[in-house]
Amino acid sequence: MIQIKDLEKFYKTEEVQTIALNKLSFDVKEGEFVAIMGPSGCGKSTLLNILGLLDDPDGGSFMFNGTEVAGYNERKRSELRKHNIGFVFQSFNLIDELTVFENVELPLIYTGVKPAERKQQVEAVLEKMQIMHRRNHFPQQLSGGQQQRVAVARAVVNNPKLILADEPTGNLDSTNGNEVMDLLIDLNEAGTTIIMVTHSEHDAKYSHRIIRMLDGQKVTENILA
- The residues of the shown chain that bind other proteins, judged by CB under 8 A, are 45, 49, 52, 54-55, 74-75, 78-79, 81-83, 86-87, 89, 91, 93-98, 102, 105-107, 109-111, 154
| Closest approach of other proteins to the CB of residue 14, in Å | 11
| Closest approach of other proteins to the CB of residue 161, in Å | 14
Number of Cβ within a 10 Å radius of residue 112: 8
- Residue 154 Cα distances to 33, 96, 108, 123, 192, angstroms: 19, 14, 9, 11, 14
| Closest approach of other proteins to the CB of residue 157, in Å | 9
| Closest approach of other proteins to the CB of residue 175, in Å | 25
Of 212, 142, 146, 211, the closest CA to residue 183 belongs to 146
| Closest approach of other proteins to the CB of residue 74, in Å | 6
CA distance 67 to 3: 10
Between 62 and 206, name the residue whose CB sits nearer to other proteins: 62
Number of Cβ within a 10 Å radius of residue 136: 10
Between 99 and 176, name the residue whose CB sits nearer to other proteins: 99
Of 58, 61, 81, 59, the closest CA to residue 69 belongs to 61
Between 81 and 212, name the residue whose CB sits nearer to other proteins: 81
Between 60 and 86, name the residue whose CB sits nearer to other proteins: 86
Between 138 and 208, name the residue whose CB sits nearer to other proteins: 138
Amino acid code (one letter) for 90: Q
CA distance 19 to 177: 32
| Closest approach of other proteins to the CB of residue 225, in Å | 29
Between 23 and 82, name the residue whose CB sits nearer to other proteins: 82
Q: Are 135 and 170 in contact (CB under 8 A)?
A: no
Of 125, 128, 153, the closest CA to residue 139 belongs to 153
